[in-house]
Amino acid sequence: MDYLLIGSMLGRNISAHDTTTFAYITPFLVGSPSPPNASKAGYSCPVLGHNGRLYVKLNNEISATQIESYDRKTGNFISTCVKASGMGACNFLINNEGELLAFDLNGNINRHHADSGSLIDVYVKNTYLKETLEKYDSAYPLTMRLQSDQYILISVIYNGIGADAQALLRFDQRTGKFLDVLIPKTDLNYHLSLDFIVGPGHHIFATNFNTGQVLRYDRSSGSFLSVFASHPSLIHPHGLIFGPDGNLYVTDPSQNVVFRFNHSGVFLGSFTTPPAFAGPTYMVFVNNPPSVIPIF
């Protein structure tokens, strides 16, 4: 059966939905046996690995966060891969080699074996990353994504000039070297963008939590292109993903709703998530065998 898995800002579960009717099916996973500060934890940012596992970030109001792995088919807990993975909503990913890259509490980006979680090396050292970020004020990573097979994009939020000021940085995927600022913090459209993806045309699509819009940026220059999608009912968009059907799915945690738009940004409809999964955030499509998600 095909599933749309949705992470939760507050609930200790992942919500599974039928990909045809979008009806709620079942809690796909119920969390590890002993998560840190479980009463205040939320399971967010489900990510598919190359090994058939599902990786999930356990977020917390304090820094006791961790990345856990689950069986993609059953939702059964397998192991805690990375402990103390640092603050940030979705600041880890699986690279093209199937390795797990994640920030730690010291500001490093570490590379891990996806199966065991054991450390391979420090992919980007704290000192280098700190120097890179401090050139644009102090900041911490919010979301990390792949851009084709060449780049890693990291969205950072700046504490020094206001909680909603953000920029999008680009790194070389092979070496971890900082390349450029793709979207600068002076672009007010990008402020308080809680998620971004690489979509059709290889452009960057980002949610704006304040304006209730999905924005589109040029893949090479980072220039703002247009408001790709909006709707009067879409108030605080958070996560977004293009599905196997080519449509865009956008979560709104303020309403427990997922909105759907077609490939041109035309509104198609919406569906709700159960109250127990308060605050839907990031999403992934899975099936058996794994879904073929468009790679742009």
Dihedral sign for Cα 122, 126, 130, 131, please. Answer: negative
Mean pLDDT of all residues in 194-214: 91
Quickly list H helices, 94-191: 126-134
What average pLDDT does the structure give for the chain? 80
Mean pLDDT of all residues in 53-64: 72
pLDDT for residue 289 is more than 50 = no
User: pLDDT tens across 142-200, in order?
Assistant: 788 888 778 999 888 776 544 557 889 898 988 888 888 899 888 878 877 889 999 98
Q: What is the pLDDT of residue 41?
A: 58
pLDDT for residue 1 is more than 50 = yes
- Return the C-alpha torsion angle 209, 213, 214, 218, nearest 10: -100
Contact 96, 89 (CB under 8 A): no
Distance, CA of 167 to CA of 142 (rounded, Å): 10
Contact 137, 145 (CB under 8 A): no
User: pLDDT tens across 37-54, in order?
Assistant: 444 456 778 888 888 888
One-letter amino acid for residue 29 of the chain: L
Q: What is the pLDDT of residue 87?
A: 56
Would you say the pTM of this structure is higher than 0.75? yes
Contact 146, 85 (CB under 8 A): no
E-strand ranges in 134-186 read 139-147, 151-158, 166-172, 178-183
